[in-house]
Amino acid sequence: MRKGRQEGERQMLTRLLTARFGPLQSAVSDKIAAVGIESLEAWSVQLLNANSLEESFR
């Protein structure tokens, strides 16, 4: 169940980032694929105030 939730978080973050900043480079997609659910959740929240793609990952 946790693995399914993690994949859902990855998909949601990818959709949100793409909607806000345009198509993602493969390095960004790889970064998203390599982290755990805690980072995915934190990045999703950071995205709300980010002015750039890089700020989303701080």
Burial class (CB in 10 A: 0-12, 13-18, 19+), 24: middle
DSSP 1: -
DSSP 35: S
DSSP 48: T
Query: Which residue has 């994949």 as its token pair?
Result: 7
Q: What is the pTM of this model?
A: 0.89
CA 34 to CA 50: how far, in whole Å? 21
* pLDDT tens profile 14-57: 999 999 999 999 999 999 999 999 999 999 999 999 999 999 98
